[in-house]
Chain A
Amino acid sequence: MTRKFFFVLALMLLLATMAFAQGTSAPQGGANWPVPVAAGFSMAIASGLCGLAQAKAVAAAAEGMARNPGAAAAIRFALLLGLVLIESLALYTLVIIILKVG
């Protein structure tokens, strides 16, 4: 059992050396360089806040379904609708990134 473990560990460590194959790339100049940086930050912020909001929605829905299992269908419907509408707000940010970066 430990021999198999060490074999798999050795295999993973050997495969990790492939990560050194990529060389370093020089930073690109150009007048528009903040655009991809801002795109990365804005998408991260939008996705993080969307995750927080959806977590609140799911937590409230789960508690509602636990308290009142008879209303589970209605609560599930409201949950799905709410999740999709919150998701679409994060997707607006993605659309701006698609339009501006490239």
Chain B
Amino acid sequence: MWPTKILNDHLAGLGNALTGLVGVAPHARPWANFVVMELLVALILVVMFALLRPRLSVDRPGKLQQTCELAYDFLRGQAEEQIPHHGVHYLTYFGTLFFFILFMNLIGVIPGFESPTMNPSVPLGCAVATFLYYNFVGFQANGVLKYLGQFAGPMMALAPLMIPIELISHLARPLSLTIRLYANMYAGERVTMVFLSLTYFLVPAVFMGLHVFVSLLQAYIFMLLTMMYVAGAVAHEH
């Protein structure tokens, strides 16, 4: 892709410096397609909200404000439904996750751009971030000992059975989040490509339409499952 090529030609040193921060050996062309597309999506989101902020108005809302209010109402309703009373505290993370994954999924539909979520590293990053976030929120809301006490189950006698089961199920959460998002995006693109090689030029547009619907649904499901995990983590024993 041409932005990747430009960055690799001129800013390879910066790329190697950034990967060197975590101990990766220098590479000839360090910028990957998915990294550049992620940065582009982040830039698009920042620009969109930077354009929104000065145009906010109570008396005469513009189109962008009304669209964002629709999205905000939807996200807030979902958060309050999943986490009663406290959902709004965590809405910043849920909303950011939803918009980021949604825009990353949808940018692949535009010819010439590639979905960063097609690469398994990107959904893995989102899933690990979600895992760290819901555990951190659980520690914050319940205290470390009480949160870890949730793993033992309802009765202490069941603890030797419940702890391995709970550990495995908690570790399976980022795995399933990653694979669900990655496989949906990758399969959507592959199906379109395979049908493009089998039949005429515009027929795979049907599969691309299905891919758009699946992108929306997968972004929503990622956010919904994050909300459910946070709800389980902050649940107070009444």
Contacts and interface: CB of A to CB of B under 8 A. Distances in A.
Contacts, number: 28
Interface string B178-198: 011011101100000000000
Contacts of B217: 80, 84
Nearest to B220: A80
A19 interface: no
Q: What interface size band does chain A fall in?
A: 10 to 19
Interface stretch (A5-13, A20-28, A61-69, A89-97): A89-97
A88 B224 CA distance: 15
B67 interface: no
A91 B224 contact: no
B221 A91 contact: no
B180 A88 contact: yes
Interface of A is mostly: helix
Q: What interface size band does chain B fall in?
A: 10 to 19
Contacts of A92: 179, 183
B176 A88 contact: yes
Interface string B145-186: 000000000000000000000000000000010011011101
B14 to A, nearest CB: 32
A81 interface: yes
Given A88-B176, A91-B187, A81 B182 contact: no
B82 to A, nearest CB: 11
A62 B186 CA distance: 30
B149 to A, nearest CB: 28
A14 interface: no
B186 A88 contact: no
Nearest to A92: B179
B180 A84 contact: yes
Nearest to A80: B217
A15 interface: no
Contacts of B183: 88, 91-92, 94-95, 98
Given A80-B217, A84-B217, A88-B176, A95 B224 contact: no
Contacts of A95: 179, 182-183
A99 to B, nearest CB: 10
Nearest to B120: A95
B59 to A, nearest CB: 32
B188 to A, nearest CB: 11
A98 B184 CA distance: 12
5 contacts: A80-B217, A81-B224, A84-B217, A91-B183, A92-B179
Given A91-B179, A91-B180, A91-B183, 12 more contacts: A80-B217, A80-B221, A81-B224, A84-B221, A87-B180, A87-B184, A88-B179, A88-B180, A94-B183, A95-B179, A95-B183, A98-B186
Please provide the 10 A-B residue pairs with the shortest distance between their CB atoms, ordered closest to farther: A91-B183, A88-B180, A84-B221, A95-B183, A94-B183, A95-B179, A92-B179, A94-B187, A88-B176, A91-B180
